[in-house]
Every structure is written in C-alpha cells, then in structure tokens.
Amino acid sequence: MSRSVQSIDLFIDKYTPKTEVVKARGFICPSCNGSGGFQEEIGRDDYRWKTCPRCDGTGRMRAVVTVDWKADYDS
C-alpha cells in the first residue's frame, strides 16, 4: 500500500526568525476516512448523521508545526 509523506527540512541562517510556523495541508482524516462523519443508528431503519469530532466534519486535517530556535548549551 502506498502513502503520501510530507517532510520538513530545517535550515537556519542569520535571517531566520526565532520562531517559525510551518503548515501542511490536505491530509485525510484518519477517524472518518475523509467522509466528515458517521451514520449512527438510533432506531430500526432510523439513522442520524454524526459529525466527526476530530476534523469537525471537513474530512480533511492539517498540521501546524511551530519551530522555536533556542541557544544550544548542551553541545
């Protein structure tokens, strides 16, 4: 089975801010598999749509990665 992988390359120079925010978008929600919710049976032949709490019904997820550059006193 194939999968899509996104990676972040870290690089610092004299113009890099102390805090960076990197965003990655377009991931399919692993809880609802991109459907945005679930069919919930509440009675015989009676169903209700329940919105996925992980993706808020969008079916998609994004990652927000914050990089804080700090002095390295240990090396």
User: Over 80: is that where the pLDDT of 2 sits?
Assistant: no
Express as a percent the part of the chain with pLDDT over 90. 68
Q: Structure pTM?
A: 0.68
Residues 13-54 pLDDT 10s:
899 899 999 998 989 999 999 999 999 988 888 999 999 999
Rounded CA-CA distance 67/21 in Å is 6
Residue 51 is predicted with a pLDDT of 96
Rounded CA-CA distance 50/58 in Å is 12
